[in-house]
Amino acid sequence: MPHLVANFLRTSSGNISHIKKSAISRSRTTSRNNSRNNSFSASPYASDSEDHACASHSVKMPDLADAMKKHRLSLHFGRSSNAPSSSSSPSSSSPHAPVAMDWSIESPPIVFYGSPAESTGALVSGLLYIDVNEDAVEVDSFTASLSIHATQKKPFQSHCPDCHTKVTDLRSWQFLAHPTSLRRGRHQFPFSTLLDGSLPASMDSPLVSFSYQFKAEAVAVRAPSPAPAASASAASSTSASRLPVRFERTLRVKRSLPEPLYPHHSVRVFPPTNIKASAHYTAVIHPSGSNSVTLKLDGLMTHNEKVKTVDLWKLKKVTWKLEETIKTTASPCDRHAPASSADDPSDPGRAGLVRTETRLLGEKQLHDGWKSDYSGNDGTVDLEFDYTVNQLRAHGKEPRYACDLRAHDGTDVSHALHIELIVSKEFAPEGKTHLATQTGTGRILRMHFAVNLTEYPGLGVSWDNEAPPVYQDVPPSPPGYPAEPPIEYDDLEELDALRAVSAPGSRRHSESGRST
């Protein structure tokens, strides 16, 4: 039979025309042999060309039919078979799985409002669903956990998974502590937790990444299916199968810093010249927004009283750059820690390697767009421009920027706006600045301002501002009335008599009695 498989593979490696020709020639040879009613013995190593060349090397037809029946499955290359595979097992993704798992998040997007020192955290709440597709399934255990994964892109030891990723468990839930039978249908299990505001937000950078992983696992037990009496011995050897169903999702955690009421004001002086730069900019910026900078230059003109001329500094070019600096520490695991600091976690030798990288998020050059005024005693230039983050999300990929972050493990992400001004010195007669002549002297004025890149807060607010007040937080109630003794009233009959006497009708009656 080896020659049949070899011939099949050799024929399949050719083109379609060659396969058709081989099939036609084989059918003609077979029909010719049947008409002659001759049988020849063939060598097991005969090639396909020899079978076509000489009929004496053909195989007996009964032997060929028997060989095809025995080895029929071996010739089904690349074809699907209806027979079930012994290695296949039901899973949560299969439509015939006994148990499937899903979830729904009921809380708003996870956003830390404020700095890590001021933020009260964010609430995470939702429902886990177990869909039972059979009449009844017994679940041994059902647990879930939420953890933060800190992954170093350039770890202390490149081939060590412990140096590469450090996992910190934040919360765990045990929904079913003992075996429980669940009927057909959907069963829900609520979960909730409060993430501390000092935790880092989700990020992905060339050096380090932080991600929040939610994992749930349920272990279902499927009882063996009843078998007929003929196969009772085989059924007795089959025990109940344990089917673990796993569910994993990634939570996106953001941080939003409040915007200041007024723009930040900064003043720079560039000695030995008299140039002074005054900048107004927003210290908190957003990645998808446009941020403006107002710049004013003073001291651009100097008077020379002796020669009756003035020196002018004229702005020629403005360049702004938005840079991001990422600094992290790749700490070693317990196995790769230095021998001197293996027993002392506070040893500086366990601090690891410091990684730093700076990348450019946006850049632009301006050659015009400002207003110059040299008519007074002091020349001025007024300029206003916008700067943005150019490395935004595209085609479903992660954004190529990271918001400001400061984690407990030493990871620090900061941003800075760099402004570069090129000025050229010229001189002109006093009162005739339009006749300025270049002197060939120029200077580069550089400034950088620290800015905080953060996400938009949207319409959400912190969870502590949304929650209703508790009993201890209720302000004092309105002032109460002082406790006074009750008013003592006289006898009602005496009061009625006094009221009758004081009435006008009774007074007239008494007066008429006196007159008579």
pLDDT in tens, 128-181: 999 998 888 999 999 999 999 999 999 888 888 888 899 999 999 999 988 999
pLDDT of the residue at 516? 41
- Nearest residue to 373 (alpha-carbon basis) of 301, 276, 302: 301
Distance from C-alpha of 60 to C-alpha of 62, rounded to nearest angstrom: 6
pLDDT of the residue at 27? 58
Whether 335 has a pLDDT exceeding 60, the answer reads yes
pLDDT of the residue at 325? 95
Whether 103 has a pLDDT exceeding 70, the answer reads yes
Instruction: Measure Cα distances from 37 to 27, 28, 33, 54, 60 in Å.
Output: 15, 14, 6, 16, 10
- pLDDT higher at 497 or 255: 255
- The mean pLDDT value of the chain amounts to 77
pLDDT of the residue at 345? 53
What beta strand segments (E) does 177-308 contain? Answer: 180-195, 203-204, 208-222, 241-251, 253-256, 264-270, 275-281, 284-285, 291-298, 301-304
- pLDDT higher at 311 or 393: 311
Residue 489 amino acid letter? Y
Distance from C-alpha of 251 to C-alpha of 213, rounded to nearest angstrom: 6
- pLDDT higher at 40 or 359: 359
pLDDT of the residue at 428? 87
Distance from C-alpha of 322 to C-alpha of 452, rounded to nearest angstrom: 11
Mean pLDDT in residue range 366-375: 90
Whether 9 has a pLDDT exceeding 90, the answer reads no
Mean pLDDT in residue range 364-379: 89
Helices (H), 349-435: none
Tens of pLDDT, residue by residue over 468-482, are 666 676 666 666 667
Task: Give percent of the chain above pLDDT 90.
Answer: 41
- pLDDT higher at 30 or 459: 459
- pLDDT higher at 45 or 452: 452
DSSP string, 417-461: EEEEEEEEEEEEETT-GGG-EEEEEEEEEEEEEEEEE----TT--
Domains and CATH numbers, the chain: 99-224+241-256 (2.60.40.640), 264-334+352-453 (2.60.40.640)
- pLDDT higher at 307 or 228: 307
Mean pLDDT in residue range 230-238: 44
Helices H, strands E: what count in the chain?
9, 21
pLDDT of the residue at 430? 83
Whether 487 has a pLDDT exceeding 70, the answer reads no
Whether 374 has a pLDDT exceeding 70, the answer reads yes
| pTM, full prediction | 0.66
Lowest mean pLDDT among 64-68, 290-294, 451-455, 493-497: 64-68
Whether the bond between 272 and the residue before it is cis, its omega within 30 degrees of 0, is yes
Whether 91 has a pLDDT exceeding 80, the answer reads no
The burial class, CB within 10 Å (0-12 / 13-18 / 19+), for 9 is: exposed
Lowest mean pLDDT among 38-47, 349-358, 412-421: 38-47
Whether 248 has a pLDDT exceeding 60, the answer reads yes
pLDDT category of residue 446 using cuts at 50, 70 and 90: very high
Contact 399, 393 (CB under 8 A): yes
Grouping H, G, I as helix, E, B as strand and the rest as coil, residue 264 is strand
Tokens found for residue 49: 């060309």
- pLDDT higher at 107 or 78: 107
Tens of pLDDT, residue by residue over 402-439, are 999 999 888 999 999 999 999 999 988 888 878 888 88
Whether 61 has a pLDDT exceeding 50, the answer reads no
pLDDT of the residue at 173? 95
Q: Which contiguous run of DSSP H or E holds residue 6?
A: helix 2-12
pLDDT of the residue at 336? 81
Whether 508 has a pLDDT exceeding 60, the answer reads no
pLDDT of the residue at 189? 95
